Amino acid sequence: MVIEEKDLSGLGGWDCYKKARTYLVAGSVLKSSSSALNDNSGGILFTGLVLEGRKKYVCGLKFRSLEDVDNLCRCKRSISDGSVCEHSLAVVLHSIKEAEKSKIKNSQVIEEECDKDRLYGDKTLPVFTFGSGHITEIDAFSLNFESASPEQCMSDDQISRLRGIFGNVNPTHGKTLKCNKSQFGKSLEVLKGSGVYLKSESDDTKKLLIISETEAR
């Protein structure tokens, strides 16, 4: 069962609904929550806390259907005739609004992640992996490419020049190449002004090397 705002105006009457809206706008609903009933009816239980002057009402509505609703509030109106009151309606309204906000927020997060994937999907950064020993004494490296932000990634010109060093192999995410010391040196020259990761096989650590226009640091 899904309860929407349009379903509420007929429960306690129009005046009751307007008062509930007033509580909501005034911030008098301190908290609200909703959960499915445990009786396999498909119903929903809304509970919450409403502040009215100095009084706090623990209230809510139990929906078995739109025609079968229990009011959980203990205000005078609810006790006197058992009808739906503005306090419980305000709790349900608050819960619906919070659920809508959460849905919009989650949708925005998903869209941002998709935009990020589209933006960074083809942006890569080289990772040179070497064995044990000092890097100056190593003759062979393996080279692969990882996704990177625009601030770190290679320029189109650098990608083109790097392809020339490795026989026109396109540097894409996940690809691994073999690299000798000469190719390593040429790659560092090409990558001036950019960055590269150095990774040791012995301890699996990875360090970012920022290559300036004059020297590596």
Digit-coded pLDDT (tens) for 23-73: 998 999 999 999 998 877 789 999 999 999 999 999 999 999 888 999 999
What integer pLDDT is reported at residue 121 of this predicted model? Answer: 41
Q: What's the rounded mean pLDDT across residues 72-78?
A: 91
* Mean pLDDT (the chain, rounded): 80
Rounded CA gap, 148 and 153, in Å? 5
Prediction pTM value: 0.51
Digit-coded pLDDT (tens) for 116-163: 444 444 567 788 887 766 667 777 888 887 776 655 667 778 778 888
Show me where the domains of the chain are located: 5-118, 124-210
**Side chain identity, residue 149:** S
Q: Work out the angle at residue 190's Cα, subtended by the Cα atoms of residues 194 and 166, and round it to the nearest 5 degrees.
A: 120
| Lowest mean per-residue pLDDT among 78-82, 110-114, 134-138, 172-176 | 110-114
Q: Are 49 and 58 in contact (CB under 8 A)?
A: yes
When pLDDT is cut at 50, 70 and 90, the band that residue 112 belongs to is low
